[in-house]
Every structure is written in C-alpha cells, then in structure tokens.
Amino acid sequence: MVTKIAVIQTPPVMLQRDATIAGMLETIDEAASAGAILLVFPEAYIPGYPTWIWRLKPGGDMALSSELHARLRENAVDLSAGHLDALQEAAARLSITLVVGINEIDSRYSGTTLFNSVVVIGPDGTLLNRHRKLMPTNPERMVWGMGDGSGLRVVDTPAGRVGSLICWECYMPLARHALYSQAMEIFINPTWDSSDTCLATLRHIAKEGGCWVIGTATAIQGSDIPDTFPERDALYTPEEWINVGNAVVIAPSGDITAGPMNREKGILYADIDIETALRSRRSLDVAGHYGRPDIFSLTVNRAPQAPAVFTDS
C-alpha cells in the first residue's frame, strides 16, 4: 500500500499557542490538498521549542528565564481544556492522521509542570496516543518533567502502524525495542537535533527496526521570532538559522528517500509503501526471529504514574 506523507518544516509563532495552531491549519489544508494522509510536525511545535535554554547560562539571567517559562506555561497545551480541538476537527474533516509535538501542561495534578509530548490524532479526530518524553535532555530538565511509559504504544493508522519517540529518546535502545515489539511500521522522531549524527541514527533505526523513519526539526531563523518575544534581539540575530530543520524520510533499508530538507521552510513530501517494511524483516527482525528472548528480556511498565492516589468514602 503506497501512501503519501507530509513532513512539516515551517516555524511556529514562538510562545503563541493560538497563532501557531492557526498557521498549522493552513499548512494542514495545503498538505491534504496535495494528497498526504499522514502529516508530521516537529518536537514541541506548539508553541515552539524552548531554544533559549541552550543560550542562557545556567543560573544566569533568572528574571528572563522565569518570564520565558511563564509565557511557555501560559501557552502550553492542556488536552483536557480542548486546546487541540481545531486540529482534531481538521483531521476528521480531511480524513488525515496528524503527529504533533507539543508543550503539554499537567492540569490534573500539579497544574504547573510541563511535559515534552507528542500526540497522534487519527482520521476520525480522536486522540490515538499521547507520549511524554521519558527523559528531557540536559538543560531541558529545567523546562519539562519526566514522562512515564503510558505512551510507549504503536497505533493503527491508515498510513500504517505508527510509533514515536522524541528527539534523543531515539538513542534509548530499550525504548526503541518496546516499539519494535509492537509491529511498528513507521517510526516518527519529532526532534530539535538536526545534526548529521542524528541523521545517521535515524538511518540505523530504519535498518534495525525494518521500518520507515520520519524525522524533522523546526526550520527557523532569528527573523521568525516575533517581536513580542522577551529580549529577542539579545538572544537572536535576524539572519541566523537557529535550526536548519533537516526533515527526512528513510526507507527500511536505511536509504534516504526524501530530504534532508536543509535551511528551507516548507513541506517535504514522500510516498511510502508499508509492504517494503514487512519484506525487510525477512532477513532481520529484531523483535522476531532475530531476537533471543530466552537470553534477553524486556519488561515495560505502561501504567500511568500519579503523584497521589485519592480515596473518597
């Protein structure tokens, strides 16, 4: 079954949730009109990846860090508040699947902690999965809490069976194996890492997992940062590429079939055939005939972790 996918590599409206979603709706219509049935957006796309954490010195300008974090929190996605309703309605209207990176706020328990999450919205508009990044990377731990295993799931979509890990989670071999062991056909890596090393890792995953791999970071320049962004001119210059993007689609052989799209804001399209993934595992199936469960075993705790359990009489 050959299907068209779209990898979105355009900048969000940084720290503005509603404006970012409005732009996404235009992009979604464009990609769907081109025939894509699976659309992928980058890591923390709503309302933007907190790139400032890599520029501010630890313990440096605490007032600026506090203001930026407050704005990120105010514009984070609360799933229970219906912040993604417009995207879910678009998915249902166009019969497409969306994979979207979000800054998610925990409104149920703390009301404050943020998570780096990725959601899969099915073609009927339902939320098929929500995965929170298990371990934020380096200074990201000052922004996001650690997720649990409840989102380590592969879900059925018209494009194929989709699983996702966020950015450097692709370096976690046990997390990868947890997805391989659920008959994954398409691995999606919303990321901020646009390096050659990341690209090499994604090619390795395609071969190792016998799956299609889609990776994308946000292509964004300093000029894309709105003037409402605190201390924008002190942190960024208009002409610089904050991130070059490098959207890519990789076949189960490990060969690149589309991209990398470097220093270009737009949509990367590709046609993929799920049968290619299934055939690739005839010789190498790490969750099947090429595994040794008699020697190695993996237990995955997918129970949601709560900070408190309440019992009312």
Active-site pick, 43, 140, 169, 208: 43
Q: Model-level pTM greater than 0.85? A: yes
Q: Is residue 307 part of a domain?
A: no
Neighbours of 138 (CB within 10 A): 9
Full strand arrangement of the beta sheet holding 245-250:
155-157, 160-164, 186-190, 212-216, 245-250, 256-262
pLDDT, residue 21, reads: 98
Q: Distance between CA atoms of 60 and 75, rounded to whole angstroms?
A: 24
Q: Is residue 176 part of a domain?
A: yes
Q: Is residue 33 part of a domain?
A: yes
Contact 40, 309 (CB under 8 A): no
Q: Please state the three-class secondary structure of 216-272 as a single string.
A: ECCCEEHHHCCCCCCCHHHHCCCCCEEECEEEEEECCCCCEEEEEEECCCEEEEEEE
Contact 74, 83 (CB under 8 A): no
**Per-residue pLDDT tens digits for 71-96:** 999 999 999 999 999 999 999 999 99
pLDDT, residue 55, reads: 87
pLDDT, residue 245, reads: 96
Residues 6+ apart with CB under 8 A from 68: 15, 50, 52, 230
Q: Distance between CA atoms of 282 and 294, rounded to whole angstroms?
A: 21
Domains: count for the chain: 1
Residues of the chain scoring pLDDT < 70:
58-60
List the domain range (segments joined by +) for residue 222.
2-280
CATH of the domain at 208: 3.60.110.10
Active-site pick, 26, 67, 104, 133: 133
pLDDT, residue 187, reads: 98
Q: Is residue 63 part of a domain?
A: yes
Q: Distance between CA atoms of 10 and 268, rounded to whole angstroms?
A: 10
Q: Is residue 34 part of a domain?
A: yes
Looking up tokens 């993604």 gives: 84
Q: Is residue 184 part of a domain?
A: yes
Q: Which helix (H) or strand (E) holds 4?
A: strand 2-9
In sign, the C-alpha dihedral spanning 301, 149, 87, 71 is positive
pLDDT, residue 62, reads: 85
Active site residue 133: yes
* 298-312 core/surface letters (b: 16 or more CB in 10 A; e: else): eeeeeeeeeeeeeee
Helix (H, G, I), strand (E, B) or coil at 168: helix
Full strand arrangement of the beta sheet holding 127-132:
127-132, 114-121, 97-105, 38-40, 2-9, 266-273
Q: Is residue 42 part of a domain?
A: yes
Active-site pick, 4, 67, 140, 167: 167
Active site residue 198: no
Q: Is residue 48 part of a domain?
A: yes
Contact 136, 107 (CB under 8 A): no
pLDDT, residue 58, reads: 64
Active site residue 43: yes
